[in-house]
Every structure is written in C-alpha cells, then in structure tokens.
Amino acid sequence: MHGHANEATIMARAPSPGFTLLELMIAVAILALLAALAAPSLADFFDRNRVRAAADDVSSLISRARAESVKHDLPVSIRAVGSSGAWCIGANEAALPTGGAKADDNATACDCTQTTQCMVSGIRQVVSSDEYHGVSMGTLPGNIRLDNKLGAIMSANGTLGTQSVTLTSPTGKYDVVVQVQTLGQARLCTPSGKPTLSGMAQC
C-alpha cells in the first residue's frame, strides 16, 4: 500500500514538459532582436525588387510592341504620360488597312490613362505606376515610333533614333535605366553612382 502511495506522490510532483516563464521571455527577446536585425535588409529587398519589376515590365512592353509591329507589318507608337510619381506608358498599333488600302505610316499615340486605348493586336499594352507603388519615372521620354519593317525607332523626320527612361525605387536608393536602342531593342542598366543590381550591367 505504501509503495503505491509513494509512486502516486512522485507522479503528481513530476514537472510538466514545456517552457518556463523565463525561457519564454528569453525566446521572445531573441525573436524581437532577429526581427529588428532583418527589417532593414527586408525593406531594401522590396525597394530594389519593386523598381526592377517595373523596369522589366516597361522593357517587356517595348519588346512585345516591337515584335508585333514587325509581325503584322504595322507601325507602333509608344507614349508615356503623367508625372514623375504617377505615370503610365502604353503602346498603340496603327489601324489595319481595309479594302486593299496601304497601311498608315504612323500609329496614333495613345493615352494610357484611358482604359479603351493603347491596343496592340487587340490586347491592351500598358504599364502603370499604380502597379509599383512608390516607383517614380524621370523625365518622360518623347513618343517612340517603331518602324514596321525592322522595329527600329524612327523620328518624325524619318531618321533613326534612341530613347531612354530612368525609374527610381521608392526610397530613391536604386535607379534602373530602360534604354531603347536604334533597332528597337530594350535593355536595362544601372547608372554610374548608383548601387548595381544583380545580373544588370552599368550604363
């Protein structure tokens, strides 16, 4: 009888598994310290990736517009509107000729703030700062006209040209330049004096 009573007493007094209050407080303090250390790196990650994503989208829009221009033998106009902090850029294809008529040599520049404009091959082609909160655009580029034969940039007087636009991250730390070469190819680079981005050359 006494043996069973002693066993019951020992079992009742056995410590339960889990954290003590002190251990829990230490764990919380460590987690808070790690979060404080990680916060700047995480903010920087989002800062540079947001401007890079915006630049990638602008570059892709130009590349798609160029490809469709050559494919359908129709010139395309690319236009940016708005301001540094609230901008959009859109591409617009010349109208298809009807009744055997010759296609227009120029595509009408579209207004990317209008939901019914900026169409290429029946698909709306627009990139907007609304999708990349805080990413600003430098001096808005002039209208870009892509030739339907080579996809080259043609000026109003018919000569070849180039264009570029700079996008800046929300904190202003990172810049990405979208350069449009004479033959319409878009490339990304970082300007001198600004931090470089992985896999991206300096301008």
Domain-located, residue 149: yes
Domain-located, residue 25: no
Domain-located, residue 24: no
Distance between CA atoms of residues 49 and 67, nearest Å: 26
CATH code for position 74: 3.55.40.10
Q: pLDDT tens-digit profile of 22-50?
A: 767 777 777 776 766 655 678 899 999 99
Domain-located, residue 4: no
Domain-located, residue 36: no
Strand partners, 120: 123
Number of domains in the chain: 1
Q: pLDDT tens-digit profile of 177-201?
A: 999 998 999 999 999 999 999 889 9
Q: What percent of the chain has pLDDT over 90?
A: 56
pLDDT at 149 over 90: no
Range of the domain at 145: 46-96+104-203
Q: pLDDT tens-digit profile of 105-125?
A: 678 999 999 999 999 999 999
Domain-located, residue 21: no
H/E stretch holding 123: strand 123-128
H-assigned helices in 14-141: 21-72
Q: pLDDT tens-digit profile of 152-166?
A: 887 665 667 788 999
Count of CB atoms situated within 10 Å of the CB of 161: 16
Would you place residue 8 in the very low, low, confident or very high pLDDT band (cuts 50, 70, 90)? very low
Domain-located, residue 15: no
Domain-located, residue 90: yes
Distance between CA atoms of residues 183 and 201, nearest Å: 20
Distance between CA atoms of residues 59 and 184, nearest Å: 11
Residue 165's SS3 state is strand
